[in-house]
Structure 1
Amino acid sequence: MEGVVRSVGFAPVKGMRHLDLDHVDLDEQGAVGDRAYCLVDVERRRVLRTVQHPSLMSIVAESYDDDGLALTLPTGERIEGQAAASGETITCDYWGRAVDLALTVGPHAELITAQLGRDVRLARAPRTAVVFGDPITVVTTASLRQMGGEMGVEAARFRATLVLDTDDPWVEDTWLGQEIDLGGATVRVGGPVPRCTVIDHHPETGEKDARILQSLVRQRPTNRSGEPMFGVYATVTRPGRVGVTR
């Protein structure tokens, strides 16, 4: 099947603002640049999770060059610099999985530590190391409209790699195993994406301002943990560039 792409995006630093981009480059491991960095609580050896630190969404991270990273705080304060490897590595827990990360040196950690009020380090993550499930997530316009009829749900709350245009709500539930031609690349649809309380937080401020999760629980199938499903995972079968259809 062919897909019409209405938006694309990702966050270069896990948990920070989901960027709305003109295009993404997909390879076998997902969107190039997606969650290339993460924040680490070195003392506890844990990767910071968005669900526990939603205020991260108020920070805009933008990558440039090879190791260049710019961060913009809600205050407008902005810092740019190289997030170069320090030579230190650390093994951290991420949702019960051990991940090896390369700690970086640069001006970013001090800024984030001040913003969060806790000591953190910025680390470079191997591709997909701090990704839960498959590397690509897809939501559809019809399903967003179905939710939006109740409360005006923005696509950004779901932090999806791709938003595809559809006519029928929840049609993506029937796509398991299908390949979607996106013009410059092709993806194969996997299982449904379980949702947590992150979607109840404003995608630009991180403040809790809605009860979308509760509404989803009433409308959608849930997993054993009681998490409702919205959107689907996908893997890349043909790498290439995917742009927004205007």
Structure 2
Amino acid sequence: MTTRDEVLELGSSVLSAGFAPVKGTRHLSYPEVRFDRAGPVGDRQYCLVDLAAGRVLKTVENSTLMAVVSTVTDGGLEITLPTGESVCAAPEPAGEVVTSNYWGRAVDLELTEGPHAALMSEWLDRDVHLARAPRGAVVFNAPVSIVTTASLRDLGTRADHPDLTAEAARFRATLVIDTTTPYAEEAWLGRVVRVGDVLLRVGPPIPRCAVIDFDPASGIRRGRLLKTLAQYRPTNAAGEPCFGVSADVIGRAGAGTPHRPTMSFEEG
């Protein structure tokens, strides 16, 4: 029997680990993810800004962002549209820092120069700029989020959406953990868990918005998951139903059994 003081080993149960370099673009899984104390390295290091409105673009209001693939390569930041049109270049500092609204929070963002803004402005049919964000500046909750397969299956059954585990990217979670008991992750609150050589401290459940109702590859609304969640899950003060849990990175674990995907820690 384990106690709450013992580290919970989850490495062999991690099915996927992922993020998006540009906030709102398609959530991708990677065979290897590096972590530091601010979360997955490279996660949401860029965002799109509407300068006229003075705010960061919200995924829930610009769901077609999810159809766009962004990756960081040796050539720089590559952005590919569903049409196949693509640009790849290293975003260069434009020499201007702007303060933008991100869900009611003021964040300072460094505007960049390069072909990315023009491509995304055309795709979104609005004038946007690509900005580099400080670590965690455009992350709504804790730096790491976790969903589990048993919880996904339970929600999928209730919502008549049996392929929900295959569409786990709807929840844009850092980690998808294989479990047998729905919502077992909520019993991990305050626990230290280990994934690879990374130690996480699990935090509270995550309130959800309508983003989960959009297909994670196309951004087209397909599903009524949010309404289903609201019928049986606990809600926060704003009435948002909770699903999955948050976590903070607290350090490196000792050497252990290697697993795929590989998750490693580095001091920032």
- If the TM-score is normalised by the length of the shorter chain, which range does it land in? over 0.9
1:98 matched to which residue of 2?
A: 106
Answer yes or no: is the 8 Å Cα contact 2:15–2:177 preserved in 1: yes
Q: Deviations over 1:201-226 (max 9, x none)?
A: 00011011110111111121111211
- Equivalent position to 1:164, from 177, 184, 191: 177
Q: Deviations over 1:90-121 (max 9, x none)?
A: 00010111100000000000000000000000
Return closer, same or farther for 1:242/1:112 CA change in 2, 3 Å cut-off: farther
CA distance in 1, matches of 2:63, 2:28: 16
CA distance in 2, matches of 1:219, 1:44: 37
* 1:42 CA drift (Å): 0.8
How many corresponding residue pairs?
A: 244
2:96 matched to which residue of 1?
A: 88
- Equivalent position to 2:188, from 175, 185, 197: 175
- Equivalent position to 1:151, from 148, 161, 185: 161
Answer yes or no: is the 8 Å Cα contact 2:110–2:132 preserved in 1: yes
Is 1:225 the counterpart of 2:238 in the alignment? yes
Indicate the SS of the match to 1:89.
strand
1:121 matched to which residue of 2?
A: 129
Indicate the SS of the match to 1:188.
strand
Q: Deviations over 1:160-214 (max 9, x none)?
A: 0001111100111111100111122111100110000000000011011110111
* 1:64 CA drift (Å): 2.0
- Equivalent position to 1:30, from 28, 33, 39: 39
Q: How does 1:1-246 map to 2 (within 5 A)?
A: 1-3=8-10, 4-65=13-74, 68-149=76-157, 150-152=160-162, 153=164, 154-239=167-252, 243-244=260-261
CA distance in 2, matches of 1:68, 1:42: 24
CA distance in 2, matches of 1:23, 1:214: 34
CA distance in 2, matches of 1:41, 1:68: 23
Structure 2: which amino acid aligns with 1:164? I
Indicate the SS of the match to 2:47.
strand
CA distance in 2, matches of 1:108, 1:58: 15
Q: Deviations over 1:125-176 (max 9, x none)?
A: 0000000111000001111111222312221100000011111001111111
Structure 2: which amino acid aligns with 1:6? L
Structure 2 segments unaligned to the other structure (5+ residues)? 1-7, 263-268
Q: TM-score, normalised by structure 2?
A: 0.88
Answer yes or no: is the 8 Å Cα contact 1:54–1:201 preserved in 2: yes
CA distance in 2, matches of 1:164, 1:219: 22
Answer yes or no: is the 8 Å Cα contact 2:197–2:252 preserved in 1: yes
State which structure, 1 or 2, has the greater radius of gyration over its C-alpha atoms.
2
Answer yes or no: is the 8 Å Cα contact 1:185–1:242 preserved in 2: no
* 1:239 CA drift (Å): 4.2
Task: List, as ranges, runs of 4+ consecutive aligned residues in structure 1 with deviation greater than 6 Å.
Answer: none
Return closer, same or farther for 1:239/1:124 CA change in 2, 3 Å cut-off: farther
Indicate the SS of the match to 1:39.
strand
Structure 1 segments unaligned to the other structure (5+ residues)? none
CA distance in 1, matches of 2:126, 2:94: 21
Answer yes or no: is the 8 Å Cα contact 1:24–1:242 preserved in 2: no
